[in-house]
């Protein structure tokens, strides 16, 4: 899927320069296929952007919060918001509490749903199980979505992409790039979002003879390692740095994911890095119980 052109002033910087995204990517040394155009300025008000920031941070801490609890949290911080407004903003972020509803996991009635294959499974080797998910990343004057693929044995990030929409295209690009760079997994796990149940996405998996697994609806913990990855990305990089523009975000995420894979020690991996565990095939693993993933040795 070709990258949509977008001017740098849409990302909140260089309004007089008129640089296309392809040029921006060359300047910061990032592959053009990594990025999709950011949302136009003015889609939401300044107050909505502030509320989106607060909702995003609270949801990252407490993903079980639905709109009712989010309203209470925002009112405690001095924002007299209605539940209807919070529901609209949570839909915009693609968020919902751990119950079925309109969010990034919203399915399509005509797309097939595959069974969840991980319950009771012991993950004992790299590339046995990969999974993916989408999260929201805010900028100073807009927001984008981030998709990433993670290996369950080593916690290594196998690929990532950024987009301004929740269509399947950037998820497919991320998957295809991960398969080009790494040996294919035996099982690929997703939620029931329309991006992942689409024929275009599942066709890539079927063509590579990869077994498809999908979470139960409303069960975010079925994809627990990606949820943990989002907390790390946001609390260790996105929130502290407060990216304002798309080029800044792309440069920062590129640096962070290299750090995450090659330098950041993981307690669950015996303080080894995902890259070392993935390459050696030692020190990782997990056993998935009926409720959540138990880290293995």
Residue 60's pLDDT band (cuts 50, 70, 90): confident
> Rounded to whole angstroms, how far apart are CA atoms 21 and 11?
10
The answer on 225 and 89 residing in a single domain is: no
Asked if 154 and 251 sit in the same domain, the reply is: yes
Average pLDDT over residues 158-165: 92
**Residue 193: inside a domain:** yes
pLDDT score of 128:
97
| Domain shared by 75 and 212, yes or no | no
In a domain, 263, yes or no: yes
Residues 80 and 145 reside in one and the same domain: no
For residues 192 and 249, state if they share a domain: yes
- Tell me the average pLDDT across 13-33: 51
Q: Determine the pLDDT at residue 288.
A: 79
Supply the mean pLDDT for the chain. Answer: 80
| Position 100 in a domain | no
In this structure, of 3-7, 95-99, 114-118, 267-271, the range with the lowest mean pLDDT score is 3-7
Q: Which two tokens stand for residue 207?
A: 């063509």
- Does 26 map to a domain? no
Question: What is the share, in percent, of the chain residues with pLDDT greater than 90?
Answer: 48
> Is there a single domain that holds both residue 216 and residue 86?
no
* Mean pLDDT score, 60-84: 89
Report the C-alpha gap between 126 and 144 in whole angstroms: 30
Region of poorest pLDDT, from 131-140, 167-176, 201-210, 220-229? 220-229
Instruction: Please report which confidence band the pLDDT of residue 15 belongs to, taking 50, 70 and 90 as the band edges.
Output: very low
Q: In this predicted model, what pLDDT tens digit does every residue of 207-233 receive, in sequence order?
A: 999 999 997 654 455 567 888 899 999
Residues 226 and 85 in one domain: no
Is there a single domain that holds both residue 207 and residue 246?
Answer: yes
Residue 37 belongs to a domain: no
Which residue would you say has higher pLDDT here, 250 or 26? 250
- What pLDDT, on a 0 to 100 scale, did the predictor assign at position 36? 52
Provide the pLDDT for residue 65: 83
Average pLDDT score over residue span 190-200: 90
Query: How far is CA 194 from each of CA 185, 227, 269, rounded to the nearest angstrom?
Result: 21, 19, 33
Is 222 a domain residue?
Answer: yes
CA-closest candidate to residue 181, choices 285, 40, 33, 4? 33
pLDDT over 60 at 27, yes or no: no
CATH code for the domain in which residue 238 is found: 3.30.420.10
Structure-model confidence comparison of residues 39 and 124, the more confident one:
124
Are 73 and 209 members of one domain? no
Domain hosting 74: range is: 46-93
Within-domain flag for 104: no
- Lowest mean pLDDT: which of 64-68, 103-107, 130-134, 237-241? 103-107
Q: Same structural domain for residues 133 and 252?
A: yes
Last residue of a domain, one of 78, 93, 108: 93
| Residue-level pLDDT at 92 | 77
**HSE toward the beta carbon, residue 216, CA cutoff 13 A:** 10
Asked if the structure places residue 128 within a domain, the reply is yes
Same domain, 64 and 201: no
Domain count, the chain: 2
Question: Does 65 share its domain with 179?
Answer: no
User: How far is it, in rounded angstroms, from Cα 115 to Cα 222?
Assistant: 12
């Amino acid at each position: 899927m070709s990258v949509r052109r977008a001017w740098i002033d849409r990302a909140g910087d260089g309004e007089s320069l008129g640089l296309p995204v392809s040029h921006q990517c060359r300047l910061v040394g990032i592959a053009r296929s990594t990025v999709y155009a950011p949302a136009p300025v003015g889609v939401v008000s300044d107050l909505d952007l502030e509320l989106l920031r607060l909702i995003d941070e609270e949801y990252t801490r407490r993903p079980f919060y639905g709109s009712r609890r989010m309203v209470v949290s925002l009112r405690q911080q001095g924002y007299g918001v209605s539940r209807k407004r919070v529901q609209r903003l949570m839909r915009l972020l693609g968020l919902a509490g751990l119950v079925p509803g309109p969010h990034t996991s919203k399915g399509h009635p005509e797309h097939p749903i595959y069974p969840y294959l991980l319950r009771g499974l012991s993950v004992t080797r790299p590339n046995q199980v990969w999974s993916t998910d989408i999260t929201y990343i805010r900028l100073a004057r807009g927001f984008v979505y981030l998709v990433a693929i993670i290996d369950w044995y080593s916690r290594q990030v196998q690929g990532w992409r950024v987009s301004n929409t929740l269509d399947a295209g950037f998820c497919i690009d991320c998957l295809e790039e991960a398969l080009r760079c790494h040996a294919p997994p035996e099982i690929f796990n997703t939620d029931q979002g329309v991006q992942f149940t689409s024929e275009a996405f599942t066709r890539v998996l079927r063509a590579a003879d990869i077994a498809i697994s999908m979470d139960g609806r409303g069960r975010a913990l079925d994809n627990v390692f990606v949820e943990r990855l989002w907390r790390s990305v946001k609390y260790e990089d996105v929130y502290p740095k407060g990216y304002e523009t798309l080029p800044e975000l792309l440069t920062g995420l590129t640096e962070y994911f290299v750090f995450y894979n090659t330098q950041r020690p993981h307690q669950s991996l015996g303080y080894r890095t995902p890259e070392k565990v993935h390459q050696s095939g030692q020190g990782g693993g997990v056993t998935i119980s009926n409720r959540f993933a138990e880290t293995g040795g």
